[in-house]
Amino acid sequence: EAGVVQSPRYKIIEKKQPVAFWCNPISGHNTLYWYRQNLGQGPELLIRYENEEAVDDSQLPKDRFSAERLKGVDSTLKIQPAELGDSAVYLCASSLGQGVYEQFFGPGTRLTVL
Amino acid sequence: QKEVEQNSGPLSVPEGAIASLNCTYSDRVSQSFFWYRQYSGKSPELIMSIYSNGDKEDGRFTAQLNKASQYVSLLIRDSQPSDSATYLCAVNGDHGNNRLAFGKGNQVVVIP
């Protein structure tokens, strides 16, 4: 079974530029999560989708971050404009849902904002 | 108080010994508990999940949960150099919100 797929793996941009990350969850997983992980810290949830619906986006900085999950499968997370403090690893995870809570992570995208 | 605390510094253990990691959490309604292993430069990998009080064993790993004390631990028996990694404790509170709170992680170094 294929795992969670993310692209790109690395991204270097200058501040104020836009950036987008893409995620394809494990087949059949209804719940999709975007996390941000800073160095030396655990992942922090940005947004959770149940199918197409964003059910928990309370920690998403909505002034510059946006996300979508069209058709309830792939998802895109966008930052516009990026700031220096956005440098981090952006992780996508998925879980089966329907009472199954184990989350499986993709390889992540390491973002560097210069 | 942080939701999930892993306070120990880096843990060095000789090969073949037992590594013991501890985690406390603040939300009494927490229902699901997970341990993730994260190698340097890699993403977290789920290694254990535990939902009820007591011990759960999977190979060389044992998770222990005590909800009354709000405490979950991970034991790694017969530690191998390949176990050298950061171990993240994660706690899922109310299953209605299904939000995992992670600790900062504990680094384990297994010395050959």
Contact B92 A101 (CB under 8 A): yes
Q: Is B109 on the interface with A (CB under 8 A)?
A: no
CA angle A32, A34, A38 (to 5 degrees): 150
Query: Measured between alpha carbons, how far is B5 from B27 in angstroms, rounded to an integer?
Result: 12
Q: In what order do the strands lie in the sheet with B71-76?
A: B4-5, B19-25, B71-76, B61-66, B54-58
Query: Measured between alpha carbons, how far is A107 from A4 in angstroms, rounded to an integer?
Result: 8
Contact B32 A101 (CB under 8 A): yes
- Residue A78: predicted pLDDT: 98
Query: Measured between alpha carbons, how far is A22 from A68 in angstroms, rounded to an integer?
Result: 10
Q: Is A56 on the interface with B (CB under 8 A)?
A: yes
In order along its 114 residues, chain A shows pLDDT tens digits of: 689 999 999 999 999 999 999 999 999 999 999 999 999 999 999 999 999 999 989 899 999 999 999 888 999 999 999 999 999 999 999 999 877 789 999 999 999 999
Q: What is the mean pLDDT of residues B37-64?
A: 97
What digits encode the pLDDT tens for the residues B57-77?
999 999 999 999 999 999 999
Give the burial class of A99: count Cβ atoms within 10 A of its Cβ; 0-12 exposed, 13-18 middle, 19 or more buried: exposed
- Select from A41, A48, A104 the Cβ nearest to the Cβ of B98: A48
Contact B46 A108 (CB under 8 A): no
Q: Is B2 on the interface with A (CB under 8 A)?
A: no
More confidently predicted of A104 and B9: A104
Q: What is the mean pLDDT of residues B14-19?
A: 97
Residue of A nearest to B50 (CA): A102
More confidently predicted of B52 and B29: B52
Reply yes or no on whether the pLDDT at B95 is more than 60: no
Q: What is the mean pLDDT of residues B34-49?
A: 97
